[in-house]
Structure 1
């Protein structure tokens, strides 16, 4: 994402991350938001971004809003890949896989590793 729009999105993401980590609002924000960290398939760089999530059994489901305007979820296509997720003040690791349904919706399913 380039230019002015990219600057706005990065600023908004930084704001959401700060709110999820604040002592005042972190508990409230942590109920629906998490920060994921992953390594880009092509770049090999580490990225972090806030996402909206919901618990699903032993794992996490992340619905990707406007998936065609975002690229991060593509790192988890096919066999998927390693992911770190911070929610509720706790860091967890897992394996994420992304799937697009026949209506174009994208869901990233995270199978969490056993806590240490």
Structure 2
């Protein structure tokens, strides 16, 4: 039996959605209070320099709380390279959590 096809992702014109299955990419950050670095697999969509992470079952997880309020720095493994950015968590009225990451500009390539 063939599994059902995934629905197409909705993207506004000019954006490049890049959905990834959970576990394909990871995010890393240092805990606000502990200072310990943690890594976790995430599913995300990317449009230019903004990455959106939908947290599945946020009531059962703690890591996303590091990004509440003013947010916190984050590192992401995107397309085989490490990228840094600033992540801010948003909790909607139904308890769903979305983390928006504004990516830092990548370092300029050195010319030799």
> Common fold, TM-score beyond 0.5?
yes
Asked if 1:51 is matched to 2:18, the reply is no
CA offset at residue 76 of structure 1?
0.2
Unaligned runs of 5+ residues in structure 1 are: 1-29
Which residue of structure 2 aligns with residue 89 of structure 1? 80
Distance 1:98 1:110, change over 3 A: same
CA offset at residue 49 of structure 1?
0.8
Within 5 Å, give how 1:31-110 maps onto structure 2. Answer: 32=20, 33-110=24-101
Which residue of structure 2 aligns with residue 20 of structure 1? none
Unaligned runs of 5+ residues in structure 2 are: 1-17, 108-112
Which structure 1 residue ranges, 4+ long, deviate > 3 Å from structure 2? none
Equivalences, count: 87
Q: 1:55 touches 1:61 (CA, 8 Å); kept in 2?
A: yes
What is the CA deviation profile of residues 58-91 of structure 1, one whole-angstrom value per residue up to 9, with x for unaligned ones?
Answer: 2100000000000010000000000000021011
Q: Normalising by the residue count of structure 1, what TM-score does the alignment of the two structures yield?
A: 0.71
Q: Secondary structure at the match of 2:93?
A: coil
Which one has a bigger Cα radius of gyration? 2
CA offset at residue 57 of structure 1?
3.7
Structure number with higher helix proportion: 1
Q: Secondary structure at the match of 1:102?
A: coil
Compute the RMSD of aligned alpha carbons: 1.4
